[in-house]
């Protein structure tokens, strides 16, 4: 999926998701007028909703409102730059977890043949309607179970797919992507950054210090919310609007890929706007944007 669940933000005393679906704020007074968008609703110890095929099928019609598609919010064009750079690495590519296909037009221009794979038939149909081209083949596939019909491409893209908060399932996805890539081929992974989560909380505390209440968060409130919504610091599992979502540190990501027999060639930040994290962010925050991690690895 070239996406992940969007954040939610606090506006007045009601937390709202990006599609304006209200979530009660437990009857509390407004926390701040500038607030972090990681407002989960699952209780401590709960596993959140089952993010399976039915979940993504149900999301298909409201996908753009309900998820964050990094291909559309990349502030510096890092992903597009890597596509252009890797077009010389081979003639075939795959978008593994293509969602509604936001990345497909760029891939279809850069490569002779593109395989678009997703778990959800509804999202595949949406991608086919929007971006169907003669050089794109659409295929339903389960990256956890593997077995993509012996697919072997020169360059694989796996953008915001490594989200499930289960280590073995994450490893299986990486193995499937690796196996779908020719030996010597390249793989581009984009994942949510756990360091960026901490950066957002640090920035909210800075907003409070610089602009005063009610802007931002006090150090105590920032610490409290951080521990409420980060369900596992070791694994980087964050509750985003009730969906437990894996976030990656750079070292965890590099180590996981190396354990799967991949050689990491470069790691880059993919910055996106503060409005994806904070309601009404102050403009002086802009030089230090939140980010996803992008890794280019090679199958050895």
Question: Taking residues 251-259, what's their average pLDDT?
Answer: 98
Q: How open is the CA angle 282-225-39, to the nearest 5 degrees?
A: 75
Contacts of 156 (CB under 8 A, 6+ apart): 93, 94, 96, 177, 180, 181, 185, 186, 187, 188
Total residue count of the chain as it appears in this document: 300
What is the Cα–Cα distance from 86 to 80, expressed in whole angstroms? 10
- 2-26 pLDDT per residue, tens: 334 444 333 211 222 333 332 222 2
Q: What are the structure tokens assigned to 194, written together?
A: 């756990």
Residue 279 is predicted with a pLDDT of 87
Asked whether the beta carbons of 205 and 219 are under 8 A apart, the reply is yes
141 φψ region: left (φ > 0), alpha (ψ -120 to 50), beta (else): beta
Q: In whole angstroms, what separates CA 117 from the centre of its chain?
A: 17
Catalogue all structural domains in the chain, each as residue range(s) with its CATH number.
8-46+194-243 (no CATH), 53-192+248-299 (3.40.50.150)
Contacts of 77 (CB under 8 A, 6+ apart): none
pLDDT higher at 43 or 285: 285
Contacts of 248 (CB under 8 A, 6+ apart): 162, 191, 192, 193, 194, 236, 293
- 89-112 pLDDT per residue, tens: 789 999 999 999 999 999 999 999
- 177-227 pLDDT per residue, tens: 999 999 999 999 999 999 999 999 999 999 999 999 999 999 999 999 999
Question: Could you identify the residue written with the tokens 């298909």?
Answer: 60
Residue 228 is predicted with a pLDDT of 94
- 123-147 pLDDT per residue, tens: 999 999 999 999 999 999 999 999 8
Q: What is the DSSP letter of 43?
A: P
- 27-84 pLDDT per residue, tens: 222 223 333 333 333 333 344 444 555 555 566 565 565 567 777 788 899 999 999 9
Residue 59 is predicted with a pLDDT of 60
Residue 242 is predicted with a pLDDT of 86
Q: What is the DSSP letter of 193?
A: B
Residue 253 is predicted with a pLDDT of 98
What is the torsional sign of CA 109, 111, 115, 120?
negative
Q: If you write DSSP's letter for every residue of 289-300 in order, what string do you get?
A: --EEEEEEEEE-
Q: In whole angstroms, what separates CA 267 from the centre of its chain?
A: 16
Residue 71 is predicted with a pLDDT of 76
Contacts of 177 (CB under 8 A, 6+ apart): 96, 143, 156, 158, 187, 189
Question: Taking residues 108-123, what's their average pLDDT?
Answer: 95
């Amino acid at each position: 999926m070239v996406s992940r669940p969007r954040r939610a933000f606090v506006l007045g005393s009601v937390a709202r998701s990006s599609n304006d679906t209200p979530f009660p704020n437990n009857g509390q007074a407004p926390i701040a007028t500038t607030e972090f968008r990681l407002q989960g609703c699952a209780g401590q110890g709960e596993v959140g909703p089952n993010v399976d095929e039915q979940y993504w099928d149900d999301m298909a019609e409201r996908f753009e409102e309900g998820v964050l598609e990094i291909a559309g919010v990349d502030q510096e064009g890092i992903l597009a730059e890597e596509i252009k750079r890797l077009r010389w690495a081979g003639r075939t590519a795959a978008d593994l977890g293509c969602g509604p296909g936001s990345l497909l037009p760029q891939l279809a221009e850069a490569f002779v043949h593109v395989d678009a794979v997703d778990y959800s038939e509804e999202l595949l149909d949406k991608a086919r309607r929007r971006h169907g081209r003669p050089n794109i083949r659409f295929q339903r596939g389960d990256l956890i179970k593997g077995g993509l019909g012996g697919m072997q491409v020169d360059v694989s893209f796996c953008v915001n797919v490594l989200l499930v908060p289960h280590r073995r399932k994450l490893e299986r996805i990486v193995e499937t992507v690796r196996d779908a890539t020719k030996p010597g081929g390249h793989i581009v992974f984009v994942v949510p950054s756990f360091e960026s989560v901490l950066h957002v909380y640090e920035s909210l505390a800075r907003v409070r210090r610089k602009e005063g209440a009610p802007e931002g968060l006090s150090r105590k409130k920032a610490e409290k919310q951080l521990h409420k919504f980060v369900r596992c610091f070791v694994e980087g599992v964050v509750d985003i609007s009730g969906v437990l979502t894996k976030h990656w540190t750079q070292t965890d990501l590099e180590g996981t890929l190396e354990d799967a027999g991949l050689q990491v060639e470069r790691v880059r930040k993919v910055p996106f706007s503060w409005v994806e994290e904070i309601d009404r962010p102050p403009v002086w925050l802009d030089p230090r944007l939140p980010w996803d991690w992008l890794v280019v690895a090679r199958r050895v």
